Copies of this chain bind each other. A is one copy, B any other.
Amino acid sequence: MAAVAAATRWRLLLVLSAAGLRVTGAPQPPNILLLLMDDMGWGDLGVYGEPSRETPNLDRMAAEGMLFPNFYTANPLCSPSRAALLTGRLPIRSGFYTTNGHARNAYTPQEIVGGIPDSELLLPELLKEAGYTSKIVGKWHLGHRPQFHPLKHGFDEWFGSPNCHFGPYDNKARPNIPVYRDREMVGRFYEEFPINLKTGEANLTQIYLQEALDFVKRQQAAHRPFFLYWAIDATHAPVYASRPFLGTSRRGRYGDAVREIDDGVGRILHLLRDLSIAENTFVFFTSDNGAALISAPRQGGSNGPFLCGKQTTFEGGMREPAIAWWPGHIPAGQVSHQLGNIMDLFTTSLSLAGLAPPRDRAIDGLDLLPTVLQGRLTDRPIFYYRGNTLMAVTLGQYKAHLWTWTNSWEEFRQGVDFCPGQNVSGVTTHSQEERTKLPLVFHLGRDPGERYPLSIASTEYLDALRWITPVVRQHQEALVPGQPQLNVCNRAVMNWAPPGCEKLGKCLTPPESVPEKCSWPH
């Protein structure tokens, strides 16, 4: 409640102090630019200790703004964390989970039947009330069937793809993923939008960058407040970079992709300054989940000192790089130990726009404006889910694991390893271990790598549990899960004939409709 009151105060302040004026003369709220990386890890930025230190632009962004060392995503996997960002709600509330297996990660491959429900209110829909024009550049990942299209959920423009850039496919058993401009497809990956898996060359980051720069220029010229969601994917396997960046990193191809992104972020911030709208544009950089260690080192990044990676609820799976930048508003060179979450970007963006979050539903995002502008710290829990299973919770410096699991023994024996080279006895378990009665507790300040569980006989353990247990109970008692969206798959719903395919002569014939349970092995 304190946070809500603060938000109102800040909204007033912001409205009063807003620098820009609309053509009508009314004060214009700040632009919002969310730079969301794909599978980039906490440890991939120089400012977070990556030894090759190849991110001068991001490091400068941090030096000019606020760095969050304790910022989390809402899920260790892409689709649910993106749903959380845009709804301000845990994926379990919006239905971005599966019940097909216990504690299973799920996302939106192109055979998924579900997607973002109409009942969910997305950030761009809400920002319309404050006159924002919204664009998504890059990966949507909230369902690719017609009713889930981003332009049906508040975005005014889109350039990008509904699913991951996996492929190439044969367009028979499986169609290549389409690339959309707004309502219609303009081609497919590996066809009109080539990705060379052998050399790693693809021009996509440059295209996405151009889309961002063009949009910013157009909105600035039209004196319209904008929301730009730059959801690029060069650091998701198959990792790619354009020719000028290929082979330039000390880190190999993954580093080439990071270097190109770093360069792109530098150009975007530079444009904001050039257009004199930097002081009226709130920029936030983060990632959708931890680095995919299963693809490392050539196709996956680094989670720094943290345990495991993507797909897991250890810190490596969910702690993210995060930088807030807003010259003239956020003092330079700050570090905040606020426990932040990707869902906070929803609430904070609304607050920036002078809007209150919806009152008819549970919202998990916190308004970070008091944090970034005043350095305020607010106690709040971080919940770590796999599917609809609450695996862990962090409060303050303590993290309690209610379940531990990396992936099954069967998978592990086949080479699937989410914690390569890391084996913490009793922690990185290949069987699902329930610990709801006697959680495994870590002090993340002393032990960010989750290697030394507190002794269950210690006072510290008991005190930590006394603090955490009621928070977990309250969360679970009040929780109303949404209808699970990620249970049913059907090859007939794949991207056979997206809108616009006729014009391009790229419509394919779907197979017979056979709905089936999606298989989620981990």
Bound Cα distance from A397 to B47, whole angstroms: 21
CB distance from A32 to the nearest CB of B (A): 26
Contacts A250-B397, A422-B421 given; indicate if A448 touches B51 (C-beta within 8 A).
yes
CB distance from A201 to the nearest CB of B (A): 18
In this assembly, does A446 line the interface, its C-beta being within 8 Å of a C-beta of chain B? yes
Main secondary structure of the interface of A (DSSP, over half): loop
Chain B residues with Cβ below 8 Å from A296 are: 447, 451-452
A305–B43 CB distance below 8 A: yes
Chain A 287-316, CB-CB to B under 8 Å as 1, else 0, gives: 000000000111000101101000000000
CB distance from A215 to the nearest CB of B (A): 32
A49–B304 CB distance below 8 A: yes
Minimal Cβ-Cβ distance residue in B for A447: B297
Minimal Cβ-Cβ distance residue in B for A336: B53
Chain B residues with Cβ below 8 Å from A250 are: 337, 397, 445
A297–B452 CB distance below 8 A: yes
Interface bin, chain A: 35 or more
Chain B residues with Cβ below 8 Å from A67 are: 53
CB distance from A500 to the nearest CB of B (A): 40
Bound Cα distance from A52 to B445, whole angstroms: 7
Chain B residues with Cβ below 8 Å from A422 are: 421-423
B43–A446 CB distance below 8 A: no
Bound Cα distance from A49 to B448, whole angstroms: 12
In this assembly, does A21 line the interface, its C-beta being within 8 Å of a C-beta of chain B? no
In this assembly, does A381 line the interface, its C-beta being within 8 Å of a C-beta of chain B? no
- Surface stretch bound by B, among A99-107, A192-200, A251-259, A510-518: A251-259
Bound Cα distance from A423 to B427, whole angstroms: 13
A304–B304 CB distance below 8 A: yes
Nearest 8 A-B pairs (CB), nearest first?
A49-B49, A421-B451, A250-B445, A421-B424, A252-B446, A297-B446, A423-B423, A51-B69
Q: What are 6 A-to-B residue pairs whose CB atoms are below 8 Å? A: A49-B305, A51-B444, A52-B69, A251-B445, A298-B446, A302-B305
Query: Assuming A43-B305, A51-B444, what are 15 further A-B pairs, CB within 8 angstroms?
Result: A43-B49, A48-B49, A51-B69, A51-B448, A250-B397, A251-B445, A251-B446, A254-B446, A297-B446, A302-B305, A421-B423, A421-B450, A421-B451, A422-B422, A422-B423
